[in-house]
Structure 1
Amino acid sequence: MSSKWLKTLSATLALTVGTTVASAETLRAVTDPSFVPFEMMDQETGKMVGFDMDILAEVAERAGFDYNLNTMDFNGIIPALQTGNVDIALAGITITEEREKIVDFSDPYYDSGLRLLVRADNEDIKEFDDLEGKKIGTKIGSTSYDYLTKNIEDDEGVTPYPGSADMYMALMSGSVDAVFYDAPNVGYFARTKGEGRVETVGPLYEGQQYGIALKSGSKWVEDVNEALAAMKEDGTYKEIYEKWFGKMPEDQ
């Protein structure tokens, strides 16, 4: 085999590999920066970190796409996917029949629900039925807001906030009597910044499942599902889960 032929072959292989790497599609990804510990800004690096961010990075690598990540308020995520301005989103997005009509979802990757949060000195609110006539904070565009407006006769006291930090601040300042929102976010706040000042009460309401949302008709749904399944099979999902939430329940 001549050295000239070897050089030609090497150049061809290098070009082929370079073309393969360069051809990886880059998806437009978004998240909501306030849903800790699923997604939050690392103040030191200026980058988004969290459970969802680790899931996205692993799924992208296995499915074979790159992504550019941006942030937006939660209530803008589904419309952005619907109009095709965004390709993929992770933000603790609950899979619902209404949302499935306008976007595609992956298989569920996290089991959740809704939970009540009250001030530590609260004596009046122990469960959902106690919310009648109270001031309740929740998040704009969330399933918790929908649940409140459907299940409370007089919902004038329901106040939707743009970010979770806003509603927690309102609770601790006394502007609202309770917060009703996604259980993992509520629980995380109670264990961290709200420790000793707030507490969760009552059972888990409306069992929910989070999914990775993609624009309708996305060609990546099957690849994303295969990546999620492989992550659960080889223990990668468990490793990521326990990094952010502690010991993983057997049914997760």
Structure 2
Amino acid sequence: MLHRCLVANAAIEVCLASLATALMRALVLVGMAVHVLAPQAAFAQADNGALNVGVYVSAPFVEQGEDGSYSGMAIELWETVAQRLGRDYRYVRYSSFHDLVRATRDGEIDAAVTNLTITRDRAEVVSFTQPWYDAGLRIMVPDRGGRGGFWGVIDGLRDAGHLRAYAWLLFVIVLATIGFTIFDRKFDPAFPKRWREGVAESFYNVMSIATSGKTSRKNLFGWIGRIWQALWLLIGVGVIAYITSSVTSIMTTISLTQGITSLADLPGKTVAVFEGSVSEDYISELGIATRSYPGIDEAVEAMRAGRVDAIVGDAPVLEHYAHSYPGREVAVVGSIFHPDKYGFAFPLESELRRPVTLHILDLVEDGTLAEIRMRYFGVEDL
């Protein structure tokens, strides 16, 4: 009897041990499932709200129409990915790359969409997707359409605003000619009586003062007349100095800009770059003088006005601008340097980065990304 009880107790202990083991295994499996599915659950929960997508206008990757809508290669790629994800979104515009990266880092936006270069410094504060575009930097310089010599100088004087000053000088010369003619007809008995001869004589005297600082006019008023003649001589010297300096500066600028064909020609020049861009950091590291501008329109205006000698920026952006605005008389020169890659950015630890990256890879493999690129650049190579 005692033996049977001991056997029964042992059986009960074995059953309890087996049950405990089974419960432990079940708990472990539940914990693993929670660990694996938690990110997916969080991502699914986030799907309920629209994403705030930061953009920086940089054609042809991001462009804004008059109605406020956005287009461009980066926009089309993002919208294709968002459609596959089944996500809603709203765009938020930023004025520079720096502001866009800062907003992404601080969590103001859920994603950054533009031609954003992947760098180590940026990757420390934001999370990037798989690269979807290979690019690099190039140089933009003024282009006179091949015109040099006289017409090149005229174009340079016009762009720098000197032609307007010359027009005022011509107006003063005409006024002085008329004034001298009326004055000499009244006070100089030997002055030609015929108007055309008198105007020609006065015009000769005015141009003599303006171009050589000399005058052959008679002194009709003694020492007072000499003082007036001295003042006119000073005016003439000033006019000559201004014309000489303006023409010389324009010719020097033309010589310098026509001599820029590669990165090696930039030392000693002043270069326009875009605020918060890779070109800003790279050119500054080389010790080349830079001026930062929020966008390409402002940089081109500065170059046309002579405040900078060239622009360094992303090759596809500069090439697209030169092709789209031939009337701005700019040209992109030299080969690509400092190659880089573009990607979309998200806050660190964002649950969006991985699914977006996977869809970008899908678009690469099925040829959709190549088709999108071909619509904007006319080439299929990635």
Query: Matches of 1:164 and 1:194 in 2, distance apart?
Result: 15
Q: Which has the higher helix share?
A: 2
| Residues 175-218 of structure 1 deviation map (CA, whole Å, 9 limit, x = unaligned) | 21100000000000111114571111111011100010001110
Structure 2 unmatched ranges of 5 or more: 1-43, 145-256
Instruction: Provide the alpha-carbon RMSD of the alignment.
Output: 1.7
Aligned counterparts, 1:13-28, within 5 A:
23-28=47-52
Aligned counterparts, 1:195-214, within 5 A:
197-214=329-346
Match of residue 282, structure 2, among 147, 156, 163: 147
Which amino acid in 2 is paired with 1:52? A
C-alpha contact 1:26 1:65 (8 A) present in aligned 2: yes
TM-score w.r.t. the length of structure 1 is 0.85
Structure 1 residue 146 displacement after superposition: 0.6
Q: Percent of pairs identical after alignment?
A: 30
Which amino acid in 2 is paired with 1:246? G
Q: Would the alpha carbon gap of residues 120 and 109 (structure 1) be closer, same or farther in structure 2, given more than 3 Å must change?
A: same
Which amino acid in 1 is paired with 2:91? L
C-alpha contact 2:47 2:87 (8 A) present in aligned 1: no
Match of 2:273 in 1: 138
Runs of 4+ in 1 over 4 A off after TM superposition: none
Structure 1 residue 40 displacement after superposition: 1.0
Query: Matches of 1:196 and 1:26 in 2, distance apart?
Result: 40
* 1:32 has 2:32 as partner: no
Q: How many correspondences in the alignment? A: 225
| Residues 79-132 of structure 1 deviation map (CA, whole Å, 9 limit, x = unaligned) | 111111111011211000111111000000000000001011442211112111
* 1:116 counterpart SS class: strand
Match of 1:46 in 2: 68
Query: Matches of 2:278 and 2:373 in 1, distance apart?
Result: 23
Match of residue 66, structure 1, among 78, 81, 88: 88
C-alpha contact 1:29 1:69 (8 A) present in aligned 2: yes
Match of 2:121 in 1: 98
Match of 1:16 in 2: none
Aligned counterparts, 1:65-214, within 5 A:
65-74=87-96, 75-121=98-144, 122-152=257-287, 155=288, 157-194=289-326, 197-214=329-346
Structure 1 residue 68 displacement after superposition: 1.0
Match of residue 220, structure 1, among 322, 328, 352: 352
Match of residue 362, structure 2, among 207, 216, 230: 230
TM-score w.r.t. the length of structure 2 is 0.57
C-alpha contact 1:24 1:64 (8 A) present in aligned 2: no
C-alpha contact 2:275 2:294 (8 A) present in aligned 1: yes
Find the structure with the greater CA-based Rg.
Answer: 2
Query: Matches of 2:323 and 2:258 in 1, distance apart?
Result: 20
Match of 2:185 in 1: none
Query: Matches of 1:240 and 1:173 in 2, distance apart?
Result: 36
* 1:248 counterpart SS class: coil
Query: Matches of 1:23 and 1:200 in 2, distance apart?
Result: 44
